[in-house]
């Protein structure tokens, strides 16, 4: 699925463009995600894992999502054209879960707290609502990521359950995983 460019403003009135990135931006996306991953303990991937991905696999991932009616990738670009945010959603492929889709969202530290994550999520959810056969959208979030949990709840996500000690950080501390879900039929406009 492809999102054509749309303009949005953050809380301060700064303008951004949300759109599906092109496969020619594969390396830029990997570099951007490495920076974002280095700035937050809440992102599952590490900067090293993004740096280890091949350009070919990244291009295939982008191209497969563009052709799909159950997947989307969206990047947020600032006024200089730099990628400052990223989100994606995809339905599960297996027959017993194809009515469900998972998502992920991440922001560069320079734009956190400006309402951009919520706007990115709203656009992503609108697009995912169009997925073929979709009924439930779900996500996982570390319980310490209180700002994200609060945003997801404002968007209508409900708590499904907690998996204790799901993540171990480099310093040995742990985090529980909170699974949240949104019934597609309860989305605004449906």
Per-residue pLDDT tens digits for 23-40? 888 888 888 888 888 888
Threshold 0.85, pTM exceeds: yes
Q: Is domain 6-135 in CATH 3.40.630.30, yes or no?
A: yes
Residue 48 has pLDDT above 80, yes or no: no
- Give the pLDDT score at 189: 46
pLDDT of residue 43: 80
Which strands sit side by side in the sheet containing 100-107, from one edge to the other?
Answer: 6-9, 15-19, 71-77, 83-91, 100-107, 136-142, 174-183, 158-168
> How many other CB atoms sit within 10 Å of the CB of residue 12?
8
Q: Say if residue 187's pLDDT is above 60.
A: no
Q: Which residues contact 24 (CB under 8 A, 6 or more apart)?
A: none
pLDDT given at position 186? 60
Span 143-157, average pLDDT: 92
Can you give the pLDDT at residue 184? Answer: 87
pLDDT, tens only, 76-126? 999 999 899 989 999 998 999 989 999 999 888 888 889 999 999 999 999
Q: Which pLDDT tens digit goes with each residue over 132-148?
A: 889 999 999 999 889 88
Inter-CA distances, 147 with 45, 59, 143, 150, 154, Å: 19, 32, 10, 5, 11
Q: Provide the 8-state DSSP code for 111.
A: G
pLDDT of residue 133: 87
Q: Where are the domains of the chain?
A: 6-135
**CA 137 to each of CA 43, 150, 155: distance values in angstroms, whole numbers, following the listed order:** 19, 17, 12
Start-to-end C-alpha separation, the chain: 20
């Amino acid at each position: 699925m492809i999102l054509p460019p749309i303009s949005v403003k953050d809380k301060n009135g700064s303008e951004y463009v949300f759109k599906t990135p092109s496969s020619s931006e594969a390396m830029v996306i990997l570099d951007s995600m490495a920076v974002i991953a280095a700035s937050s303990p809440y992102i599952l991937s590490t900067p090293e894992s993004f740096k280890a991905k091949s350009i070919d696999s990244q291009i295939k991932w982008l191209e497969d999502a563009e052709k799909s009616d159950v997947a989307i990738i969206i990047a947020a670009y600032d006024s200089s054209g730099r990628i400052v945010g990223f989100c994606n959603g995809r339905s599960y492929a297996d027959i017993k879960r194809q009515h469900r889709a998972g998502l992920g969202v991440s922001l560069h530290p320079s734009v956190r707290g400006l309402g951009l994550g919520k706007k990115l999520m709203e656009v992503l959810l609108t697009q995912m609502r169009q997925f073929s056969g979709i009924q439930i959208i779900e996500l996982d979030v570390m319980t310490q990521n209180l700002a994200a949990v609060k945003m997801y709840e404002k968007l209508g996500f409900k708590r499904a359950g907690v998996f204790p000690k799901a993540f171990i950080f480099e310093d040995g501390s742990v985090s529980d995983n909170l699974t949240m879900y949104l019934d597609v039929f309860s989305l605004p406009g449906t």
